[in-house]
Chain A
Amino acid sequence: QTVVTQEPSLTVSPGGTVTLTCASSTGAVTSGYYPNWFQQKPGQAPRALIYDTNNKHSWTPARFSGSLLGGKAALTLSGVQPEDEADYYCLLYYADARVFGGGTKLTVL
């Protein structure tokens, strides 16, 4: 069974920078896993932020960026805003399945 692992929780100060990562139990994450990132706030549906490793949607704020880092997919928030406090999920594509990470609860404090 494939497992995708994220940091359970992270804390960042307003205006700071934070990087969330996404690892696969099958080995290094590459662009072939088409990493996606989503933001979810309480009581809301998920919102897509990043697709195919580093591509932003038209609605994605410029402070969000995606990359590959040390064999993992990564989401970096630069100049964090209070409204960025949320749960963040990565998604990886496998041959015949898609798998979400367990999510990272980001606290802005």
Chain B
Amino acid sequence: NAGVTQTPKFQVLKTGQSMTLQCAQDMNHEYMSWYRQDPGMGLRLIHYSVGAGITDQGEVPNGYNVSRSTTEDFPLRLLSAAPSQTSVYFCASSFVGTGAGGEYSPLHFGNGTRLTVT
């Protein structure tokens, strides 16, 4: 199993450009989420999904869009990049629900995408 795969690993954008950060998992996890991590700060939730066709906003959703057309993929779209979106972005997944392997399933993280907006 590859786990959670994020691409690209590094990206530089100019202000106003748009792009999509890719996230894929092969563990059949229902729950997927996107976080940003800024220096000296904790991980902050951007958007999350509890299954295909279902998405919801997290703590810092402005400037980002998501969709969940399949269980495996959860792309994050930056609509018009701003310097304030310079950060490291992490995708994570887990099981959701009660029962063995579900109720207290830990998050499995990808290794991040380092984004710089100039």
Whether A and B are associated in the same complex: the answer reads no
